[in-house]
Structure formats: structure tokens, C-alpha cells
Amino acid sequence: MGTEKKKALLVGAGPAGLTAAYELLKKTDIHPVVLEATDVIGGISQTVKYKGNRMDIGGHRFFSKNDAIMQWWNQVMPIQGSQSKDDILLGNNDKPLQKGGPDPEKEERVMLYRDRVSRIFFLRKFFDYPISLKFSTFANMGLWRTLKSGFGYIYSQLFKRPEDSLENFYVNRFGKPLYSLFFEGYTEKVWGVHPSKLGADWGSQRVKGLSVYAILKDAIMKPFMKDDVSQKKVETSLIEQFIYPKFGPGQLWETVADDVCEMGGELFMNHQVICVNVENGRVVSVDCRRSTDDVIVNVPCDYLMSTMPLKDLIAAIQGVEVPADVKRIASELPYRDFITVGLLLDKMKIKNETKIKTYANRVPDTWIYVQERDVKVGRLQVFNNWSPYMVKDYENTMFVGLEYFCNEGDDLWRMNDEEFIAMAIDELVKIDIIDSDAVLDATRVKIKKAYPAYFGSYYELDKVKQFLDGIENLYCLGRNGQHRYNNMDHSMMTAMVAVDNIKNGIKDKSAIWNVNTETEYHEKRN
């Protein structure tokens, strides 16, 4: 790993780490070395391959209101059309997929335009997500729930609650009845705690300006909006179009990793950082455990850009006294872990009752939020609809992902694969989405620390940030690196801002921490 250039170590081969490596190579003379603890590229943005089928862990819509991010994606993987197997089978040949060049492999390096369809499955019926004010919504809710929701919304606008919890954040925007119907149970299913115990910070980041007013405004303005995939004038939660790598999000990050190596960077898989060595207020090296042979490797550096969970980073720091308070806060930071069950089906019981044309009248949804309280599954992905190239036999099978939210070590986490898959199948049968004999094959994937959570010691995080900022050449990036539930483009932005800081000799790291805290979604960069 020796080199005469200044060296930056990037901990983690996910969106933030790989973006930082790519930007360093493009903008500086610093040599990037990426250290990835696992044998997988992309972090939670990976694509899991199973017998020719592909799973997107968590579902990743590629869109951003930041021009730099959109241009970055297009540079790495050109946006070259919308035609897919679905389009061909339906005869939609008006937007042919262009070839990528003389290199056959690069013909596969493309982004497709996709339409986002997400709905809520509740009361054994479908509701638009975000909740729309269509007649079908009120018909599904029934007269009494509709009247109650209307009066509840009016009351919420007259008597605002203090936004000191996620519950109050939602009630202020939708009223108590709508919140109770569509947000309360699902949010508790996702986070494992009641929304009254969660901070409003999560709502301000993830659903931003979403409200009944925003939904009405979007419905009125939609016919007049320019066809633009960045959709800058559209509320983030109301985005209806996105771009998507032909073979899933992992394809883009695998491509970036290849490009980093081709440009002279280095990538070492199965290298888990276990010790961060600090001298005189600077990181001088890290110790890695190489899982292939259990050997400890010391790697010197001039800069350390970390995407590892703050809990693990603080525990790994050596050579400087870490205040007891900082250790406690970091060790108690809450996370939510994640399990996906992939089911290969010959068909689903639910049919397409929308106006969207689909092959074999399949449901058009990219994902379905399962609000039913008698099952544990939180969300259902239909990989056919993310990209038809995700499914080996697209014409005859459907590949779906059942998403479960849990804590490492709890009952769900400890269940073996066979028991868990059987439970998942039983749940879809119970809510009439499939018949049990429709399942052709199944697999299970477990992801640790998928979602940084907003309760407990999270509210003391500033003390941890202040300590880390005191280490001059250490930069914390990405979702787990900042303990913030960032979208993919936000994670990339933390890397871009950090590289700009290094290039321009800026010591103040507040701009890095402040990505995804601005109301304008960081549409401009200096």
C-alpha cells in the first residue's frame, strides 16, 4: 500500500466512501485507499444476487435536486433511455435504449428512467402513498373515517402541537385521525418505539414539507410542471420519476469502484478497521483485521474519511483520551437492523387495478407499505418494477422482497433462515397477497445498522461531534458516519464537501455535518 503521495484512507465502500475516493482522484493529488470490512461493494446500496435474480436492499430511487449529483451519476453511468423488457412486451418502443459504445460491457452501464409507484396496503385495500385526496381514498376509508379525518385535520391546523416528537410532527401536518391510520402503527413497526418517543428530526429530514397542503398543491401544479427527473419543484416525498441502474444500485457502486481502481486508487475488501491511531491531534494510521487470514494490518495515512458507525469509530480510537461522556453516548447510539426475504413467485393474487399498463396485469408498484397490524412485514418490494433486468425470467416469474425491521439479537434476528422464510410466506398468504403454492424459491439477507435511530443518546450527539472535530484530519461521512438517516445523494454530498474542504484547506467541518439539514435540500454548491 506504499506511495509517496499523501494518502487518504476511506473506511467503507458504500456511496460516501466511494464518492470521496472518486472525488479525490478527480480534484486532488491525494492517493485514496478504500478499506471495506466485508466482501460486498455498496453498503446498504448493494445489489444482492441470487440465482440470476437481484435484490435491492431497502429500495434506492436515484434522484436529486442537486445538479452536481445528477451530473455525477450521469458521468459514471449515462442516462440513456427508458426501454426495458416491460416496454418491449407492452409495445412501448417510443424511447429506445441507446447503445453505450463499442465496449460490450459498457452497453450494460446505463441508467433507465423509471416511474415511481408506491402504495399503502391497509384494511386489505390499496391507498396511494403519499396519501392522496382522490375519491378512491375516501371510498376505501369509509364515510365515518373520512369525516373524522377531515375534522381532525382542521383541528390540527387551529391548534398546533409543539414539534418535540415525531408524533406531533405528523399530527400537525395530517391531523390525529390520519396520523393514527397511516403513520402511527407503521412508524412503530419500523423503529420499534412509539412515534411519541422519536425525535421530530427524522420527519424534517425524511418527509420534509409533506402535508395535506403539499399534497393539494402538488395535485394542482402537476399539469404545469416541466418534465424533469430532478423534479426540483416537487416535494421530495411526492417524487414520481427517478433513474435507476439497469441491474440495481449495486451496479453503479461496483462501476465506481472499478473506475477508482482504474484511475489509480486502491480498494481492499475484507479489511475491518479495528483501531484508529491518533498522535498530536491527527490520525496517523489505522489497524485492520483482514478477515481472509485474520492478520492485523497497519495502514498509515494523512487523512481518514470514515463511514463506519460512530459507535464503532469512537470505540476504535486510540492514542488520545476519549471523554467518558463521549464513550457513553456513542456506545448507546440506537440503530435499527434490517432483514429482507426474497421470494421468487410464479404469480401474485393482487392484480393491477390502476390505469398503468403492466405486463400480465401485474401490480405496478416499486414498493408497497404494509400497514396491516396483524403481520410483522413492513414493506414489500417488487423487483420486476424497479428494473425488469433484476429478474432472470421476467415473463414467467416475479421476484419480491419482504422487508422486516428488527434489532440485532432479538427474536426475528435469531430465527434461522428456514423458520423466518416460512413465517414471511405465511404472512403474505394471511393478508391475501399470494397463495402458498406460488412460491418457487426463497432467500434471506440480514443487514446490521441499516438505520441510525433518533432517540436515546442521539440527543447528546453534539458532544461526540465536537470531540471528533478536534481530530484535525478525521472526516465523518455518510449515513452511519454521521448517525443521520441520509438519502444516498446526501451521503454523497458529505463526501464531496469533505473533499472540497481538504482541497481548499478548510478546517471547519460544520458544512459536512450540515448536509441534509438545510430546507432547500442543498441545491447549490460553492
Could you report the per-residue pLDDT of 269-278, keeping only the tens digit for each? 999 999 999 9
Residue 475, helix vs strand vs coil: strand
pLDDT at 237 (0 to 100)? 45
pLDDT at 521 (0 to 100)? 38
Mean pLDDT is lowest, of 87-91, 204-208, 314-318, for: 87-91
Backbone angles phi, psi at 435, to 5 degrees: -95, 150
Q: How confident is the model at residue 225 (pLDDT cuts 50, 70, 90)?
A: low
pTM of the model: 0.88
Could you report the per-residue pLDDT of 505-518, keeping only the tens digit for each? 999 999 999 997 75
Could you report the per-residue pLDDT of 337-379, keeping only the tens digit for each? 999 999 999 999 999 988 888 888 999 999 999 999 999 999 9
pLDDT at 524 (0 to 100)? 32
Residue 205 pLDDT exceeds 80: no
Could you report the per-residue pLDDT of 440-494, keeping only the tens digit for each? 999 999 999 999 999 999 999 999 999 999 999 999 999 999 999 888 999 999 9
The residues with which 243 forms a beta bridge, in sequence order, are 62, 113
Residues 53-60, mean pLDDT to the nearest whole number: 92
pLDDT at 129 (0 to 100)? 81
What radius of gyration, in Å, describes the C-alpha atoms of the chain?
A: 23
Distance CA 480, CA 313 (A): 10
- Cα dihedral sign for 301, 303, 306, 310? positive
Q: How confident is the model at residue 136 (pLDDT cuts 50, 70, 90)?
A: confident
Backbone angles phi, psi at 439, to 5 degrees: -80, 120
- Cα dihedral sign for 102, 104, 109, 112? positive
